[in-house]
Amino acid sequence: MRKLFEMYATGKYPLHSLANWCEDNKLKGNKNNKISISNLQKNLQNIFYLGLMKWKGEVFEGKHEPIISKKLFDKVQEVMAKRGRVRPDKEHHFAFAGLMKCASCGCSITAQYAKGNGGIYTYYRCTKKRGACPERYVSEAALTEQIKSFLQKVSLSNQDTKKVLAALEQDEVQAKENAKSDVVVLKTQLTVIDTKLEKLLDAFLSDTLSTTEYAAKKNHLVSEKVRIEEKITDFETKGLSWLEPAREFVLSLNQAANLLSQKNLSEMTAFLKNIGANHILQNRQFSFEPKIQYVLTAERSEAGIFNLQFPKWCPRKELNPHTRFRRPMLDPLSYGGGRIHYRPFVFYFKVSFSAGLF
C-alpha cells in the first residue's frame, strides 16, 4: 500500500493507472476481487495507514504501526484535490476536460466533436452557462501545441536528470556527515552544561551561593541548554529538508520531457494541475500561473538561454509566490562541455525552501 501512496503522490499516475498497476502486480482486494478505482480512492484517503482510526466521527490513535508518513499522506490528498472531479462522459473522454476556466465569464471549458475537412475533430469552448460569452472555440490540436510549447521550456532530458540527481545524492551524503560532526560537538556542550548545573546545585545546597546568585546562574545555563538543544533539532530534522523538494522538482522537469513524447494527453492535464493554478482559456490561448520555480525555468528558455538558470534571490514573502519575486543575479546550471555546474542549483533550493516557497 505504501507503494501506491508513493506513486500517486508523484502526480504521474491517475487512479486508473494505479488500478492497472495493481492488476499487473496481482494485487487483490476483499474476497480476492480486482481492486476498483473507487476502492483505491477510499484507501488513499484512509487515515488508518497513518496509524489512526476513526470511530463515530472521532479520530483515535491506533495500536498498529503507521505504514506511511503524515507528509506523504498530505501530499496524496493535495494531488487528489488538484486533479479535481471530472464528470465522466458515457461516450467520450476529452483529455483537457476539467482543466480550464473561461477567462471572460468564469464558466468551465467543455469539449465536443465536430466534423470538417473530411474528418472528426475535438474542440474546446466555454459552456456559456452564465449567458453570452465572446470567447471562441479552440481545436484540441492547437491547444496541445500550446501546452507542449510550455512543456518544452521546462523539460530536462533523462541523461541530465540522472546527473543532477546524482549530484544531489552527493550533497546529501556530505550534508549528513557535516550534521553528524556538528551534532557531536553540540552534545558535548550539553554534557558540559549538565555538569555545571549539577555543581551549581551542590554549591547552593552547601550555602556557598545565595538564592539570588543561584537563580541567576541557573537561568543563564538553562537558557544556553535550550538554545543548544534547538540547534541539535535543526541539524537532525531540518538541515536536509530542502533536498526532497529539489529531487521532486528535477523529476518533474524530466516528466515534462517525457510527456512531450507520449500520446496520452490526459497526463498533461494532471501535470499542469500539479505545477500551477488558475488555468484559463482566452482568445483561443491557454495560460496559467505556474509555481515560481517553473516560471524561472520557462523565462530563461523564452530569453533564448537554453541552459537552466536559478537565482540567488531575495524572496518577497508578502507577494504571491506563484508570480512575483526579486532576483538580483542569476547563476547558470550549464551544460557546457558535457558538465553541469550544480552549486547554484543547490543554493537555489536551500534559499527557496527556507523562504517557504515550496
pLDDT tens, the chain, 358 aa long: 888 888 888 887 888 888 888 887 788 877 778 888 888 888 888 888 877 777 656 566 677 888 888 888 888 888 888 775 544 444 567 889 889 999 999 999 999 988 877 778 899 999 999 999 999 999 999 999 999 999 999 998 888 888 888 888 887 777 777 778 888 899 999 999 999 999 999 998 998 888 888 888 888 888 888 888 878 877 776 666 677 788 888 899 999 999 998 888 888 999 999 899 999 999 999 999 999 888 888 887 665 544 443 333 333 333 344 433 333 333 333 333 334 444 555 555 555 555 555 5
CA distance 300 to 188: 48
Give the pLDDT score at 127. Answer: 93
Give the pLDDT score at 14. Answer: 83
CA dihedral 294→300→304→306, nearest 10 degrees, is -80
**214-247 pLDDT per residue, tens:** 888 888 888 888 888 878 877 776 666 677 788 8
**273-299 pLDDT per residue, tens:** 989 999 999 999 999 999 988 888 888
CA distance 85 to 146: 24
CA distance 56 to 168: 46
Give the pLDDT score at 135. Answer: 93
CA distance 283 to 294: 24
pTM exceeds cut of 0.85: no
Give the pLDDT score at 284. Answer: 94
Give the pLDDT score at 94. Answer: 87
Give the pLDDT score at 338. Answer: 37
| End-to-end Cα, the chain, rounded Å | 26
Q: What angle do CA 135, 136, 140 make, to 5 degrees?
A: 120
If DSSP codes are grouped into helix, strand and coil, which group holds residue 60?
strand
Looking up cell 473561461, which residue turns up? 102
Going by C-beta distance under 8 Å and a sequence separation of 6 or more, which residues neighbour residue 348?
310, 311, 312
Give the pLDDT score at 331. Answer: 36
